[in-house]
Structure 1
Amino acid sequence: MTTDAFDGALTICERHAERLRWAMATLEPLFPITPGGLADLSDVQLAVVDQFIMRFSKLQDAMGAKLLPGILELTKEPGSFPTFIDKLNRLEKIGAIPSASEWLQFREMRNQFSYDYPDDPEIQASLLNKALELSHHLLATLEHAQAFSARYRD
């Protein structure tokens, strides 16, 4: 990955992060959300929930597909990383991400969002509450990766 390609991946991640932060700030007064609170959300609030879910998922995807592998290329890390968990473990070891296991939680949350639970507000509320907490960590992981990669981009 060239530096320009890496910078492009970083720009995409920053755009998703900015919109995720906006959705979080808009929704945080409603949290922790209950099943009853979910039922009381306005159409606009539901649209912000959709934005939150979409941006969390897109940020996690963009970081996993482009940014994190790009960091390994930038640092010229030796060795072969045949699986994504191998990449995550190496990224954690070199200090590019705080935690490989936490990254797996982000991915699991993104996967949970792909399922729709229209008839189970308990599950919906639980997922949103957990996602709000994880979103703070996802954003912190992005900031950590940005700071780490800056040493190799100058």
Structure 2
Amino acid sequence: MKSAVSEQEKNIPICHALEKLKLYLPVGWEHWDDKDVVEYIDQIVFRFMKIQEGIGRRSIPLIVETIDAETSEMTFIDKLNKQEKSGLMDSGRMAYLPKNT
């Protein structure tokens, strides 16, 4: 689990890119020629994809394995359903997120 967490820590620069992009919000058509704006958006999209990949490839399987050792034959959707049944996920949201987000 530590390696999965440390892998995600590499994506912390998404916060820096979001902070820099705030100066240009709301982003409009006039910003698409601005190299900095495009670079920030590109970094945010790339880091977000890496976070999603890491959660799906490493974190979710590790969490499900702690609930049920017999996960090798489970499909990804079965692993998600297992998390939902255990109370770790609620209607497509992680249980620790506030309901109004």
TM-score by length of 1: 0.51
**3-state SS of 1:32 partner:** coil
What is aligned with 1:50?
42
Q: Within 5 A, what are the aligned runs for 1:26-105?
A: 26-34=20-28, 36-40=29-33, 42-76=34-68, 82-100=74-92
Give me the whole-angstrom Cα distance separating, in 2, the residues matched to 1:27 and 1:98: 31
* Equivalent residue for 1:9, pick from 4, 11, 19: 4
Give me the whole-angstrom Cα distance separating, in 2, the residues matched to 1:98 and 1:22: 30
Give me the whole-angstrom Cα distance separating, in 2, the residues matched to 1:15 and 1:97: 25
Q: 1:11 to 1:97 in 2, by over 3 A?
A: farther
| Cα drift, residue 79 of structure 1 | 6.7
Instruction: Please state which structure has a larger fraction of its residues in helix.
Output: 1
Give me the whole-angstrom Cα distance separating, in 1, the residues matched to 2:56 and 2:74: 14
Q: 1:33 to 1:93 in 2, by over 3 A?
A: farther
Give me the whole-angstrom Cα distance separating, in 1, the residues matched to 2:54 and 2:71: 23
| Cα drift, residue 15 of structure 1 | 2.4
Q: For this pair of structures, how many residues does the alignment match?
A: 97
Give me the whole-angstrom Cα distance separating, in 1, the residues matched to 2:38 and 2:4: 29
| Cα drift, residue 46 of structure 1 | 1.7
**3-state SS of 2:89 partner:** coil
Which consecutive unaligned segments of at least 5 residues does structure 2 have? 97-101
Contact 1:81/1:87 (8 A) holds in 2: no
Q: Within 5 A, what are the aligned runs for 1:106-125?
A: none
TM-score by length of 2: 0.73
| 1:56-87 deviation per Cα after TM superposition (whole angstroms, max 9, x unaligned) | 00000011001110111123366776321111
Give me the whole-angstrom Cα distance separating, in 2, the residues matched to 1:79 and 1:65: 13
**3-state SS of 2:10 partner:** helix
Q: Which amino acid aligns with 2:36?
A: V
| 1:117-145 deviation per Cα after TM superposition (whole angstroms, max 9, x unaligned) | xxxxxxxxxxxxxxxxxxxxxxxx5xx4x
